Amino acid sequence: MDNQPRYECRKLRAEVGSRRGEPRRIVLDDVSFAVAPGEFVSIMGRSGVGKTTLLRILAGLHEASAGSAVRFNGEDVSGPPEGVSLVFQDYTSSLLPWRTVAKNVELPLEGRLPIEERRARVAEALEMVGLADRADAQPFELSGGMQQRVQIARALASRPVALLMDEPFGALDALTKADLEDQLLEIFAATGTTVVFVTHDIEEAVYLSDRVLVLDGTPAKIVAEIPVSSPRPRTQMLTRESTEFLEARHRVHEVIFGT
Protein backbone atom coordinates (compact mmCIF):
# COMPACT_ATOMS: atom_id res chain seq x y z
CA MET A 1 0.00 0.00 0.00
CA ASP A 2 2.88 2.30 0.81
CA ASN A 3 5.41 1.74 -1.92
CA GLN A 4 7.00 5.13 -1.71
CA PRO A 5 10.37 5.01 0.05
CA ARG A 6 10.56 6.70 3.43
CA TYR A 7 13.84 8.30 2.51
CA GLU A 8 15.34 8.73 -0.89
CA CYS A 9 18.70 10.32 -1.68
CA ARG A 10 19.94 10.76 -5.19
CA LYS A 11 23.31 12.15 -6.26
CA LEU A 12 23.67 13.60 -2.82
CA ARG A 13 26.65 15.85 -2.35
CA ALA A 14 27.61 17.64 0.85
CA GLU A 15 30.17 20.17 1.94
CA VAL A 16 31.23 21.15 5.43
CA GLY A 17 33.44 23.83 6.94
CA SER A 18 31.56 27.12 6.84
CA ARG A 19 33.79 28.70 9.44
CA ARG A 20 35.59 31.87 8.47
CA GLY A 21 38.68 31.32 6.35
CA GLU A 22 38.19 27.58 6.16
CA PRO A 23 37.67 26.34 2.61
CA ARG A 24 34.56 24.24 2.18
CA ARG A 25 35.40 20.59 1.94
CA ILE A 26 33.36 18.07 -0.02
CA VAL A 27 32.66 15.15 2.32
CA LEU A 28 29.96 13.27 0.43
CA ASP A 29 29.59 12.95 -3.31
CA ASP A 30 27.19 10.98 -5.46
CA VAL A 31 25.51 9.22 -2.55
CA SER A 32 22.31 7.49 -3.63
CA PHE A 33 20.12 5.17 -1.59
CA ALA A 34 16.58 4.65 -0.44
CA VAL A 35 15.11 3.49 2.85
CA ALA A 36 11.82 1.59 2.73
CA PRO A 37 9.06 2.17 5.31
CA GLY A 38 9.64 0.02 8.37
CA GLU A 39 13.20 -0.77 7.38
CA PHE A 40 16.17 -0.66 9.74
CA VAL A 41 19.20 0.67 7.89
CA SER A 42 22.64 1.27 9.37
CA ILE A 43 25.23 3.61 7.97
CA MET A 44 28.77 2.43 8.67
CA GLY A 45 32.16 3.84 7.97
CA ARG A 46 35.40 4.97 9.50
CA SER A 47 35.26 7.99 11.76
CA GLY A 48 35.30 11.29 9.89
CA VAL A 49 33.96 9.75 6.72
CA GLY A 50 30.75 11.80 6.77
CA LYS A 51 28.22 9.47 8.43
CA THR A 52 27.04 12.16 10.81
CA THR A 53 26.84 14.74 8.02
CA LEU A 54 24.67 12.33 6.04
CA LEU A 55 22.38 11.81 9.02
CA ARG A 56 22.19 15.56 9.68
CA ILE A 57 21.11 16.04 6.07
CA LEU A 58 18.35 13.46 6.53
CA ALA A 59 17.34 15.27 9.72
CA GLY A 60 17.16 18.61 7.92
CA LEU A 61 19.94 20.13 10.05
CA HIS A 62 22.51 20.35 7.27
CA GLU A 63 21.84 21.47 3.74
CA ALA A 64 22.95 19.22 0.90
CA SER A 65 24.72 20.91 -2.02
CA ALA A 66 22.79 22.12 -5.03
CA GLY A 67 21.79 19.36 -7.40
CA SER A 68 21.28 16.81 -4.64
CA ALA A 69 17.90 15.25 -4.13
CA VAL A 70 16.89 14.33 -0.56
CA ARG A 71 13.29 13.29 -0.08
CA PHE A 72 11.35 12.22 2.96
CA ASN A 73 8.00 10.63 2.09
CA GLY A 74 8.40 12.03 -1.41
CA GLU A 75 8.94 15.61 -0.26
CA ASP A 76 12.18 17.51 -0.49
CA VAL A 77 13.86 17.94 2.87
CA SER A 78 14.37 21.59 3.76
CA GLY A 79 14.64 21.93 7.50
CA PRO A 80 13.67 19.25 10.03
CA PRO A 81 10.68 17.34 8.57
CA GLU A 82 7.61 16.55 10.62
CA GLY A 83 7.53 12.92 11.66
CA VAL A 84 11.28 12.57 12.00
CA SER A 85 13.04 12.31 15.37
CA LEU A 86 16.77 12.53 15.86
CA VAL A 87 18.70 10.94 18.71
CA PHE A 88 22.13 12.42 19.43
CA GLN A 89 25.13 10.57 20.79
CA ASP A 90 25.71 13.34 23.34
CA TYR A 91 22.68 12.85 25.57
CA THR A 92 24.10 15.14 28.29
CA SER A 93 24.00 18.19 26.02
CA SER A 94 20.72 17.22 24.47
CA LEU A 95 18.64 16.86 27.64
CA LEU A 96 17.61 19.94 29.61
CA PRO A 97 19.17 19.50 33.05
CA TRP A 98 16.63 21.70 34.85
CA ARG A 99 13.69 19.58 33.69
CA THR A 100 12.61 16.25 35.10
CA VAL A 101 12.70 13.15 32.94
CA ALA A 102 8.97 13.46 32.16
CA LYS A 103 9.27 17.17 31.38
CA ASN A 104 12.17 16.47 29.02
CA VAL A 105 10.13 13.89 27.16
CA GLU A 106 7.18 16.30 27.01
CA LEU A 107 9.21 19.14 25.44
CA PRO A 108 8.42 18.39 21.76
CA LEU A 109 4.71 18.00 22.54
CA GLU A 110 4.28 21.31 24.37
CA GLY A 111 2.10 23.79 22.56
CA ARG A 112 1.03 21.09 20.12
CA LEU A 113 -1.16 18.73 22.10
CA PRO A 114 -3.63 19.12 24.99
CA ILE A 115 -2.24 18.32 28.41
CA GLU A 116 -3.98 14.93 28.91
CA GLU A 117 -2.76 13.73 25.53
CA ARG A 118 0.76 14.91 26.36
CA ARG A 119 0.75 13.09 29.69
CA ALA A 120 -0.44 9.90 28.02
CA ARG A 121 2.25 10.14 25.32
CA VAL A 122 4.98 10.78 27.90
CA ALA A 123 3.85 7.81 30.00
CA GLU A 124 3.73 5.61 26.91
CA ALA A 125 7.20 6.67 25.74
CA LEU A 126 8.74 6.19 29.19
CA GLU A 127 7.07 2.79 29.42
CA MET A 128 8.67 1.79 26.10
CA VAL A 129 12.17 2.61 27.32
CA GLY A 130 11.56 1.10 30.77
CA LEU A 131 11.79 4.34 32.72
CA ALA A 132 8.18 4.68 33.86
CA ASP A 133 9.30 4.70 37.51
CA ARG A 134 11.89 7.46 37.00
CA ALA A 135 9.54 10.07 35.50
CA ASP A 136 10.19 12.59 38.29
CA ALA A 137 13.96 12.15 38.45
CA GLN A 138 16.36 14.82 37.19
CA PRO A 139 18.55 13.68 34.27
CA PHE A 140 21.81 13.95 36.26
CA GLU A 141 20.48 11.46 38.80
CA LEU A 142 20.42 8.80 36.10
CA SER A 143 23.21 6.67 34.62
CA GLY A 144 24.42 7.38 31.09
CA GLY A 145 22.39 4.51 29.68
CA MET A 146 19.25 5.78 31.37
CA GLN A 147 19.83 9.33 30.13
CA GLN A 148 20.11 7.99 26.60
CA ARG A 149 16.81 6.16 27.18
CA VAL A 150 15.25 9.48 28.16
CA GLN A 151 16.42 10.95 24.89
CA ILE A 152 15.00 7.98 22.99
CA ALA A 153 11.71 8.37 24.87
CA ARG A 154 11.62 12.06 23.90
CA ALA A 155 12.19 11.05 20.28
CA LEU A 156 9.37 8.50 20.50
CA ALA A 157 6.90 10.84 22.22
CA SER A 158 6.02 12.55 18.96
CA ARG A 159 5.36 9.11 17.41
CA PRO A 160 7.85 9.52 14.56
CA VAL A 161 7.57 7.67 11.26
CA ALA A 162 11.34 7.76 11.05
CA LEU A 163 13.90 7.61 13.83
CA LEU A 164 17.41 8.86 13.03
CA MET A 165 20.12 7.83 15.48
CA ASP A 166 23.65 9.20 15.52
CA GLU A 167 25.91 6.67 17.27
CA PRO A 168 23.42 6.63 20.13
CA PHE A 169 25.19 3.90 22.11
CA GLY A 170 28.75 4.96 21.23
CA ALA A 171 29.48 6.44 24.66
CA LEU A 172 28.04 3.57 26.69
CA ASP A 173 29.70 0.52 28.23
CA ALA A 174 29.31 -2.85 26.48
CA LEU A 175 26.64 -4.30 28.78
CA THR A 176 24.47 -1.19 28.74
CA LYS A 177 24.93 -1.05 25.01
CA ALA A 178 23.67 -4.63 24.56
CA ASP A 179 20.64 -3.83 26.76
CA LEU A 180 19.79 -0.73 24.78
CA GLU A 181 20.24 -2.52 21.46
CA ASP A 182 17.67 -5.09 22.48
CA GLN A 183 15.34 -2.43 23.77
CA LEU A 184 15.65 -0.57 20.49
CA LEU A 185 14.79 -3.75 18.58
CA GLU A 186 11.67 -4.17 20.76
CA ILE A 187 10.65 -0.57 20.09
CA PHE A 188 11.35 -1.06 16.40
CA ALA A 189 9.11 -4.14 16.35
CA ALA A 190 6.37 -2.50 18.43
CA THR A 191 6.14 0.81 16.57
CA GLY A 192 7.04 -0.19 13.02
CA THR A 193 9.00 3.02 12.69
CA THR A 194 11.74 3.33 10.11
CA VAL A 195 15.22 3.57 11.61
CA VAL A 196 18.39 5.03 10.13
CA PHE A 197 21.24 4.24 12.49
CA VAL A 198 24.76 5.62 12.28
CA THR A 199 27.48 3.59 13.98
CA HIS A 200 31.11 2.61 13.66
CA ASP A 201 30.55 -0.70 15.38
CA ILE A 202 30.27 -3.49 12.77
CA GLU A 203 28.66 -5.99 15.14
CA GLU A 204 26.09 -3.47 16.26
CA ALA A 205 25.20 -2.49 12.70
CA VAL A 206 24.74 -6.11 11.63
CA TYR A 207 22.86 -7.14 14.77
CA LEU A 208 20.28 -4.37 14.47
CA SER A 209 19.82 -3.81 10.75
CA ASP A 210 18.01 -5.15 7.74
CA ARG A 211 20.66 -3.54 5.59
CA VAL A 212 24.09 -2.03 6.21
CA LEU A 213 25.36 0.78 3.99
CA VAL A 214 29.11 1.33 4.03
CA LEU A 215 30.50 4.78 3.33
CA ASP A 216 34.11 5.14 2.25
CA GLY A 217 36.50 7.38 0.32
CA THR A 218 37.12 11.13 0.19
CA PRO A 219 34.65 12.41 -0.72
CA ALA A 220 32.71 9.42 0.53
CA LYS A 221 30.16 7.41 -1.36
CA ILE A 222 28.33 4.21 -0.62
CA VAL A 223 30.82 1.47 -1.46
CA ALA A 224 28.72 -1.48 -0.36
CA GLU A 225 25.21 -2.39 0.63
CA ILE A 226 25.00 -5.55 2.69
CA PRO A 227 21.63 -7.11 3.51
CA VAL A 228 21.33 -8.96 6.82
CA SER A 229 18.98 -11.89 6.52
CA SER A 230 18.97 -12.99 10.18
CA PRO A 231 15.34 -13.52 11.17
CA ARG A 232 13.66 -11.29 13.76
CA PRO A 233 13.15 -11.25 16.69
CA ARG A 234 16.87 -11.30 17.23
CA THR A 235 18.64 -12.13 20.47
CA GLN A 236 22.15 -11.24 21.49
CA MET A 237 23.36 -14.83 21.83
CA LEU A 238 21.53 -16.80 19.16
CA THR A 239 21.59 -14.15 16.45
CA ARG A 240 25.25 -13.40 16.95
CA GLU A 241 26.05 -17.10 16.59
CA SER A 242 23.93 -17.61 13.47
CA THR A 243 25.51 -18.13 10.04
CA GLU A 244 23.52 -15.23 8.56
CA PHE A 245 24.96 -12.86 11.16
CA LEU A 246 28.52 -14.14 10.75
CA GLU A 247 28.27 -13.98 6.99
CA ALA A 248 27.03 -10.41 6.97
CA ARG A 249 29.64 -9.37 9.52
CA HIS A 250 32.32 -10.99 7.42
CA ARG A 251 31.21 -9.07 4.34
CA VAL A 252 31.10 -5.69 6.12
CA HIS A 253 34.53 -6.37 7.55
CA GLU A 254 35.82 -7.26 4.11
CA VAL A 255 34.49 -4.04 2.60
CA ILE A 256 35.94 -1.85 5.30
CA PHE A 257 39.32 -3.46 5.91
CA GLY A 258 39.91 -5.26 2.59
CA THR A 259 40.36 -9.03 2.78
Partner 1 sequence: MSTRSLPGLLPLIALLGLWQLLGSPDSPFFPAPSSWWPALFTRGQGAKIVPAVLDTIRTFGLGLFIATILGVTLGILIGVSRQVGRAVGPTFEFARALPPAAIVPVATLLLGFDEPMKVVVVVLAALWPILLNTSSGVQELPPTLLDTARSLRLSRTRTVFRVLLPSVMPAIVLGIRVATPIALVITLLVEYLTAVNGVGALVGEAQRTFQPARVYALIVIAGLISLIVNSLVRSVEDGVSRRRVGDRL
Residues that bind partner 1 in the complex, under the rule CB under 8 A: 56, 59-61, 79-80, 82, 84-86, 88, 90, 93-94, 96-98, 107-108, 110-111, 138, 140-141, 154, 158
Q: d(Cα 177, Cα 242) in Å, to the nearest integer?
A: 20
Q: Which is nearer to partner 1, 8 or 166 (CB)?
A: 166
Nearest to 221 by CA among 25, 26, 30, 65: 30
Q: Which is nearer to partner 1, 108 or 144 (CB)?
A: 108
Closest approach of partner 1 to the CB of residue 79, in Å: 8
Q: d(Cα 149, Cα 153) in Å, to the nearest integer?
A: 6
Confirm if 208 and 249 have CB atoms less than 8 A apart: no
Q: Which is nearer to partner 1, 90 or 124 (CB)?
A: 90
Query: Which residues are 220's β-sheet partners?
Result: 28
Q: Which is nearer to partner 1, 37 or 108 (CB)?
A: 108
Closest approach of partner 1 to the CB of residue 164, in Å: 9
Confirm if 153 and 128 have CB atoms less than 8 A apart: yes
Count Cβ atoms below 10 Å from residue 97 Cβ, excluding itself.
10
Closest approach of partner 1 to the CB of residue 240, in Å: 31
Q: Which is nearer to partner 1, 140 or 257 (CB)?
A: 140
Helices (H) and strands (E) in the chain, counts: 9, 10
Closest approach of partner 1 to the CB of residue 3, in Å: 27
Closest approach of partner 1 to the CB of residue 135, in Å: 15
